[in-house]
Structure 1
Amino acid sequence: MTASAGSLVGDDAARTVHGFSGGADVVLLGAPGATPGTAVEASLPDVAASLAELGLPSPLAHLAGAPADQLTWLAEALERSDDVPVVVAAPDLHISHVALLDLLDRPGVRTAALVADPTAIVEGAGLAGRARVGRDGKQVESVGTAHHTVSRPDRALPGVLRVAPGDRAAAAQALRTAAPLADPSWGDDGVAAATLVLVRAGLPVQASPLGPFDWSRGGVRAVGAAGGPWRQRLRGASRGGDGFFSTYAVRPVSRRITGFGLGHGWSPNVVTMVSLGLGVLAALLVATGAWWAWVVAAVVLLVALAVDCVDGEIARFTRRFSPLGAFLDAVGDRVKEYAVLAAVASVAVREGAPGWPVALAAMAAVTVRHLEDYAYEARLRPSRRSRPDLLPADTPHDLGPQDAPTTFGPPPSRRAQAVHWSKKVVHMPIAERYLLISLTLLTRRPMLVLWALLVAVVVAVAWTQGGRVVAVLLRRDPTWGAVVPAAARGELDEQLDLGPLARLVGRLVGPASRPPFVVGLAGAAVLVVAVPLLLWTGPVAASLAAAVVGSALVALGWQPPVHDRLGWQAPAALWVAEALAVGVLVHHTVGVQTAAGFAYVAAVAYHRYDVVYRLRDTGTAPAAWLATAGLGTEGRLIVLLLLATFAPSAVVPVLWVAAVLLAVLYLAESATGWRRWIAAQGDPLATGARR
């Protein structure tokens, strides 16, 4: 069924089918089931018609026999060839082809099952197929049938399974092995039974989330977002997990812009650059110091935030993911935020207020929050990795606790939702920070803008880091047991940004006599507390000595690979040490109001963000020589303190030169690394680069 023109979104190019499942073998598996004939179902095509809309051929056949026969016949269909995918669908499923695009026509999808949010089910929730997806959201861990229970189910199974060409032989073997074990007690849901067999046999089955679409099957009916399928797809293009302001204010605006852009062929990367330009424009308006310009800048900054959401929404709607977009996203948000802070600080200094140290502190606090978050997520990743329950196909219960619930949980209560959104706001994600900056810009009080952001982000850091550290110290951190020590240098080591001096100390000591992690923690405490304190109160030479001692302890205790319950605190601690020392050195020891320290710290901050984004999006770290060329955290700190000890008048000029050199160095290596990775991806359509 083709959607009416009034319900369409975007032009033909935006709605095009890429053909990732083109030529697939199609199998309808299971009993047709009853047809309720509800209003929602009447508006939806049956699954065969939807598959035809995607260019898939007519089904090979429809088998509705006993479970053993269904599995055997499906195995035979899989053995026909191994050069095209196989799409297995429930014959009684009613769903739009638009809802199937992310499973059947998206790059990066291999063998995968369509999974849906059970809270969208308005009728027959007890009849819906059930599954549990891993905490990382990547794989199906367990599946339920009439015979099999699934512990803690969190997804419904509408009834579509895609088997990748390279998995056909393994899937056929698993089905043939399981077929003799199947009996009528397994029920009529052949797609759920087949998915269960593949999961329990150890074949990775990706979880392909169904967006906010209408669907129905037998006595089950789920209702999606308002509007037709393409409108629902536009709604689902908004990234999940945003903050409160983004979810309820920014995204509704960005989707309107996205709808317009989809109809006019906008490129996601061009949209990213436009958002960056708007952020820079806001900074230039602020730099004028005029009240009216600050009001306009407040509006422009929020527009830039909305436009920044559009690039990802266009990419997700069209399923065209450019790896270049990951690089542009990595730098755009920081450039906009830092540029506005610098503009506000410059106006404050012109008016006789100490704008630069507060701006530097605010920038450092924002960076701390992100570094801590990324390091913590990297630490938890092993514990959140999907772990399918590998069992014989006829075992009635999965590996979950025997007393675990086997039905869908209730939707979150209002109190739970209020707590969730309150925590989101306190966490100060980017939309909340932009809102705070925009609102305070309206006051035309530069120090209020800077202090408000600094205090809000410090509270966010105290909330997140404090809670996590307390949980670790009180042994209430159940995830740590799943964190396996790394055998080689890992993500955490790359984020530390230790240079040649630290590596030299590590080589002199050797891994055999490696001190415990707490030694490095003591060194970090010296760098974070003693060095700035001595810079503030005593001779610079004393702070230099403290920096040497602290750096040596860090090098000893944090030799790669770092592995400790508090290891995720290490990158943020070293960042705070460097930023704090630079701020105190410039604005107290030397005693000048200059942007040199801000520029220097911004260059280093870019590098730290770049390391995180490259590890997250590409799985590769910057070139090994970069830590040597950039001297590392300990090297840069010691060189600056040496300069302050013997040539304090040269500190500010050297900071300016170092800021430029580091920016060029980091940007050049970053651009080279991203370009190399982009070239390795080949067709940009074939990458699932995160947006």
Structure 2
Amino acid sequence: MTLALLAAAEAVETARRDRLRARLRRAGATEIVEPGTAAELSTLLRNGDGPVLIVAADLVAHDAVLWHLATEPGDRSTALVRNGDGPHPVQVDGDGLRPAQTDGDGLRPVGDGGGHGLRLTQARGVITGVAATGPVVFLGAVRVAGRDRQRAAAAAELIGHGDDLVDGLVGSWLRAGARLHAYPLRLLIARRCRTGEAATRAETEIAGVDEERARLRLAVKERDDFVATFLVSSWSPVLTRICARLGLTPGGVTALSVVCALGAALGFAQASRPAMIAGAVLLYLGFVLDCVDGQVARFTRRFTPLGGWLDTMADRAKEYVVYAGLAAGAVRLGHDEGWWLAVAAMTLQTVRHTTDHWYGVLHDAAVPSGPVPGGRLAQPPSPALTRTGGALGRLSDRVIADGRSPLYWLKRIVVFPIGERWALIAVLAAFAGGRVALLAVLGWGVAALAYTLTFRGLRSLAMRRSVSATGDACRQRDDGPLARRLPALAGRLDWLVPAALRLIEYAALIGAAVLHRVPPQLAFVLLLAVAMHHYDLAARPGSRWSPRLEPGWDGRALVAVVFGGVAFPVVAVWTLGVLSWRVVTTRTRQARLPAQGGSARDAERAFAAGRQAR
């Protein structure tokens, strides 16, 4: 972020304005401009293509508040908000802040004497992906993504004479149908202060907060799964601080996590009790570091598309390598089915992850900021399905909103997330062996899949949406030359199609391995290669994909069934080779996608220097 706009600066004393300008520089701004009119604001927004931070001159806030807002990951426009109560002329429709029906007065500023802002409603998914409902207040700071600058410029032209520039911009933008994401204020201070006395009180509050400690707590996910919350996040900020002070990057922490997972797999493969216990400890440490890499990224504000891809791919590879270690240990103890259990567990997890990904796509498509071409279904759902889906949605929202209730934690545990899986593996592997651990993963995984499919299926039947027209569906289905000739399926349950295709392909590969007496270890390697290929397609939608090089799910299955054992190593090497080619050829282009890597590092140095100076 290089440009910051300081709105209505002439209404604020020079000393306050200078303090805010210094904070903006520490947040990463290299150029600060003070537009005095809506026309000037519109012109500044039109002339450029990078992200812009627009801040009301009467805002008094921690340095970290502006830094975090300026370095929000992803190319999306984000508004600074705090929780609030009372009437609200703006509400949220879906995954963003959107306009409500008003009495004709439009969006009006509200305040309590010490500040003001637009009253909004926070809806499901707005705040860092957490489902919650309640009123919030816009605090006069918004990050406009580069791709949204022209739309924001058009909204600025509609600001009324005498209106607050920042509030007016956000209000006009929302009325025009925009969808803003929300950055919720937590632990730190941000106030809009109309008077010098109010600003002095806010500065006193800011001085009374341990900013580094608050930033460490903010680096921890606000709502995480049970194991991550109680067995990791309770002490991981200490490790996050150590990693940051040692200069470790999020990618470096991910690499340490991979090393721990490899050590755990080797320990499980030995099958002796001491080795299994050592493997369990290493697996726990690997999960801790898996949480810490994201915390380091949020603490240092180092976000890159490549880093997100690396974290996703490493998580999956680590887990499946651990399955291999459990299988090898089970075979060492005489359980010849060990490798087939690992193959089944990997297949189940890949199918589950695919359903999770595409159900998320459906949920996003159900409440878009505009129509999705071909996405809305012609036939309305039956009243019974609508009532059932709506009731389930409201029940889920209530449970998630009550973030500390037993029912909330039960809901988080029953879906069997990665923390719970690794905890189960560690305990059972240490005391009951690899075979029992794999059987438990399979049993709980099947139950979790049945639970999620049942409730998500009922909810999706009530949504008049299809995901078949969302994105490059052919690419995400991984269709080969034969499957591309088939008509695409569309319907309320078409989010299940990619997962069904994964299951068909993996079942065909397993069947070919059994039919041709392929060693289960070789079948595992091929399925691992294919799974990583599928995760790459989902994790990096901008990566290159060439139908000429990739035979697709149908091509791989056909080759394996026809040619048997000879085809397995060839297809595995080919799939990994094509995956490596995609990684190499798209790395430069991914690095150019919107991210805050370099600017975040510069801002981090300025931020640290500013703290030392104070």
Give the TM-score taking structure 1 as reference length. Answer: 0.67
Matched residue type, 1:285: G
What is the distance in 2 between the residues matched to 1:325 and 1:155?
Answer: 32
Residues 270-319 of structure 1 deviation map (CA, whole Å, 9 limit, x = unaligned): 22112111111111111122211111111111111111222222222222
Distance, in Å, in 2 between the alignment partners of 1:265 and 1:100 is: 23
Question: Structure 1 150/660 Cα, relative in aligned 2: closer, same or farther at 3 Å?
Answer: closer
Matched, 1:638 2:552: no
- Equivalent position SS for 1:610: helix
- 1:256 alignment counterpart: 238
Instruction: State the Cα distance separating 1:247 from its structure 2 match.
Output: 2.6
C-alpha separation in 2, matches of 1:596 and 1:101: 49
Alignment of 1:228 with 2:207, yes or no, is no
Q: Does 1:99 align with 2:99?
A: no
Instruction: Spell out, residue by residue over 1:90-124, the C-alpha distance to the aligned partner (whole angstroms, 9 max, x if none).
Output: 62x442121121223557667643123x2xx6xxx
Name the residue aligned to 2:481.
500
Determine the C-alpha separation between the residues in 1 that align with 2:268 and 2:477: 35
- For 1:284, what is the secondary structure of its paired residue? helix
Instruction: Check conservation: 1:133, 1:386, Cα contact below 8 A.
Output: no
- Residue type of the partner of 2:527? V
TM-fit CA distance, 1:662 = 2.9
In the other structure, the counterpart of 1:78 is 41
- Tell me the distance in 2 between the aligned counterparts of 1:60 and 1:283: 56
Cα displacement (A) at 1:135: 3.2
For residues 330 and 413 of structure 1, the distance between their equivalents in structure 2, rounded to whole angstroms, comes to 27
For 1:208 and 1:386, how far apart are their aligned partners in 2?
Answer: 19
Asked if 1:605 corresponds to 2:587, the answer is no
Question: 1 CA distance for matches of 2:242 and 2:302?
Answer: 17
Distance verdict in 2 for CA 1:254–1:599, change over 3 Å:
same
Q: Is the 8 A contact 2:119 2:136 kept in 1?
A: no
TM superposition shift of 1:338: 1.0
State the match for 1:658 in structure 2: 571
Change (3 A) 1:413 1:340: closer
Alignment CA distance shift 1:411-1:58 (3 Å): farther
Kept after mapping to 2: 8 A contact 1:29/1:191? no
Q: 1:294 is matched with which residue?
A: 276
Output the CA distance in 1 between the equivalents of 2:159 and 2:426: 61
Aligned residue for 2:520, secondary structure, equals coil
Counterpart of 1:52? 22
**Counterpart amino acid of residue 603 in structure 1:** A
Residue type matched to 1:606 in 2?
M
| TM-score normalised by L of structure 2 | 0.75
**Structure 1 pair 662–57 and aligned structure 2 pair: CA distance change class (3 A):** closer
Residue in structure 2 matched with residue 671 of structure 1 by the alignment: 583
| Matching residue of 2:612 | none
Q: Distance in 2 between matches of 1:410 and 1:569?
A: 26
Q: Could you tell me how far 1:484 is from its partner in structure 2?
A: 7.5
Judged with a 3 Å threshold, the aligned counterparts in structure 2 of structure 1 residues 167 and 284 are, in CA distance, closer, same or farther, namely closer
- What corresponds to 1:567 in structure 2? 494
Given that 1:159 and 1:191 are in contact with CA atoms closer than 8 Å, whether structure 2 keeps it comes out as yes
Aligned mates of 2:589, 2:557 — CA distance in 1: 32
Pairing partner for 2:172 from 187, 193, 197 = 197
In the alignment, structure 1 residue 145 sits paired with structure 2 residue 145: no
* Alpha-carbon offset, residue 467 of structure 1: 2.0
CA offsets per residue over residues 386-415 of structure 1, 9 Å max, x none? 469xxxxxxxxxxxxxxxxxxxx9997759
Q: 2:95 is matched with which residue?
A: 136
Preserved contact between residue 141 and residue 387 of structure 1 (Cα < 8 Å): no
Q: SS of the residue aligned with 1:155?
A: strand
In the aligned structure 2, how far is the partner of 1:239 from the partner of 1:661?
Answer: 38
Query: Do structure 1's residue 280 and structure 2's residue 255 form an aligned pair?
Result: no
Aligned-partner Cα distance in 1 for 2:236–2:286: 10
Worse-superposed segment, 249-258 or 147-156: 147-156
Structure 1 distance, partners of 2:508, 2:331, is 21
Q: Residue 359 of structure 1: which of 332, 342, 348 is its match? A: 342
Which residue number corresponds to residue 67 of structure 1? none
Q: d(CA) in 2 for partners of 1:90 and 1:199? A: 22
Amino acid of the structure 2 residue aligned with 1:453 = V
User: Deviations along 1:660-683, whole A, 9 cap, x unmatched?
Assistant: 3433x3432332343243354498
Say whether 1:379 aligns with 2:354.
Answer: no
Q: 1:674 to 1:584 in 2, by over 3 A?
A: same
- Out of 199-208 and 420-429, give the one that drifted further: 199-208
| Structure-2 residue corresponding to 1:89 | 56
Check 1:28–1:288 CA distance in 2 against 1; reply closer, same or farther (3 A cut): same
Q: Structure 1 485/441 Cα, relative in aligned 2: closer, same or farther at 3 Å?
A: closer
Verify the 8 A CA contact 1:47 1:94 in the aligned structure 2: no
Q: How far did 1:331 drift?
A: 1.8
Q: 1:577 aligns with which of 504, 508, 526?
A: 504
Given that 2:42 and 2:154 are in contact with CA atoms closer than 8 Å, whether structure 1 keeps it comes out as no
> Does residue 213 of the first structure (1) align with residue 126 of the second (2)?
no
Q: Offset at 1:456?
A: 1.0
DSSP 3-state at the match of 1:425: helix
Q: Is the 8 A contact 2:81 2:138 kept in 1?
A: yes
Tell me how far apart the structure 1 counterparts of residues 316 and 146 of structure 2 sit (CA, whole Å).
42
Deviations 1:34-56 (A, max 9, x none): xxxxxxxxxxx978634423337
Provide the residue aligned with 2:425 in structure 1. 437
The answer as to whether partners of 2:257 and 2:289 remain within 8 angstroms in 1 is yes
Cα distance in 1 for partners of 2:232, 2:42 equals: 49
Question: What's the offset of the Cα at 1:164?
Answer: 7.3
Segments of 5+ residues of structure 1 without an aligned counterpart are 1-18, 33-44, 62-71, 389-408, 507-554, 644-650
Give SS of 1:326's match: helix
User: 1 CA distance for matches of 2:318 and 2:348?
Assistant: 16
2:394 matched residue in structure 1 = none
If you compute each CA radius of gyration, which structure gives the higher value, 1 or 2? Answer: 1
Residue 674 to residue 330, structure 1, CA distance change in 2 (3 Å): farther
Q: Deviations over 1:520-555 (max 9, x none)?
A: xxxxxxxxxxxxxxxxxxxxxxxxxxxxxxxxxxx3
Paired residues of 1:301 and 1:434 also in contact (CA < 8 A): yes
> In structure 2, how many angstroms separate the alpha carbons of the residues matched to 1:29 and 1:686?
32
Q: How far is 1:636 from its partner?
A: 2.7
Distance in structure 1 (CA, Å) of the matches to 2:521 and 2:599: 40
1:528 corresponds in structure 2 to none
Q: Is the 8 A contact 1:382 1:484 kept in 2?
A: yes
Assess if the C-alpha contact under 8 Å between 1:115 and 1:156 holds in 2.
Answer: yes
Residues 47/369 of structure 1: CA separation in 2 closer, same or farther (3 Å cut): farther
Alignment partner, residue 546 of structure 2? 623
Q: Closer, same or farther in 2 for the Cα pair 1:73/1:467, shift >3 Å?
A: same
3-state secondary structure, aligned to 1:675: helix
Q: Counterpart of 2:532 in structure 1: which amino acid?
A: Y
1:477-509 residue CA offsets vs partner (Å, 9 max, x unmatched)? 2x3x244863xx844322322222333xx2xxx
Find the counterpart in structure 2 of residue 334 from structure 1. 316
Cα separation, 1, equivalents of 2:331 and 2:480: 35
How far the C-alpha of 1:320 sits from its partner, in A, is 2.3
Structure 1 residue 175 displacement after superposition? 5.0
In the other structure, the counterpart of 2:436 is: 448
SS of corresponding position for 2:54: strand
Between the two proteins, the alignment pairs up a number of residues equal to 534
What's the CA shift for 1:593?
Answer: 6.2
CA contact (8 A) 1:369 1:461 kept: yes
Say what the alpha-carbon RMSD is for the aligned residues: 4.1
| SS in structure 2 of the partner of residue 424 of structure 1 | helix
**Aligned-partner Cα distance in 1 for 2:516–2:456:** 37
- Cα deviation for residue 365 of structure 1 reads 0.7
CA distance in 1 between partners of 2:75 and 2:568 (Å): 48
Amino acid at match of 1:53: R
